[in-house]
Amino acid sequence: MGEEQPGSPAPGDVARFTELWDACAGRVFAYACRHVDHHTAQEVVSETFLVAWRRLSGVPEPALPWLLVVARNTIANHRRTDRRRDALTDKMVRLEQLTEFAPGADITVTDRGEVLAALATLTETEREALLLTAWDGLSAAEAAQVVGCSAAAMHVRLFRARRRLRADSATESATPAPLRVVPEPRSLR
């Protein structure tokens, strides 16, 4: 009946872990408090001692320097997670702002391919002019400032871009004539 269950701690592990906790938890917490807020420091201590429990047989003596390295790595992980979350939040805010400032740029997924194909027919300068005014919401004069040309040149670029898009859409909307296949006459030999 004295058999151990698989995954259960060895007889001396609980006592060693308890001694480790009693001797070092306060110092690991103090270290963590110097680097993060109080709440996060508590999480750091918990995660540090979880690692210590999982690797208890590999924890050296004295254990404090090893525990502080684990705490330091845990803090670095928390910071990376915070940076990723903040970057994602910033990106979402920018996307929401884009939709607020460019209501005309609301494109459904099914239209995306058509829009990309239409934009691909334009020259680079025409495409840039059109996107600056239609997508970014700039006036022709403001778009001219961005690309470093005169307002008149920007108006010409916009005119050409719109004309090309109209011509392309007119060609696509015209119903193509049905193909007639006429067999070639057989040659008589």
Q: How much is the pLDDT for 176? A: 46
CATH class of segment(s) 105-173: mainly alpha
Q: Is 184 left (phi over 0), alpha (psi -120 to 50) or beta?
A: beta
186 DSSP assignment:
P
- Write the pLDDT tens digit of every residue in 30-59: 999 999 999 999 999 999 999 999 999 899
Multiple choice CATH, 13-99, 3.40.640.10, 1.10.287.130, 3.40.980.10, 1.10.1740.10: 1.10.1740.10
User: Quick one: pLDDT at residue 133?
Assistant: 85
Q: How much is the pLDDT for 49?
A: 95
Specify the pLDDT at position 171: 65
Does 13-99 match 105-173 in CATH topology?
A: no
Q: C-alpha 101: how far from its chain's center?
A: 21
Residues of the chain with pLDDT below 70 are 1-9, 95-113, 169-189
Q: Which amino acid is at 104?
A: G
Q: How far is CA 24 from CA 5, 16, 47, 64, 149, in A?
A: 29, 12, 14, 6, 67
The ranges assigned to domains in the chain are: 13-99, 105-173
Instruction: At 170, list the tokens.
Output: 């007119």
For 158, the 3-state DSSP assignment is helix
Under 8 Å between Cβ of 68 and 32? no
Give the pLDDT of residue 122: 84
Condensed to tens digits (0 to 9), the pLDDT of residues 161-173 reads: 888 888 776 665 5
**pLDDT of the residue at 127:** 86
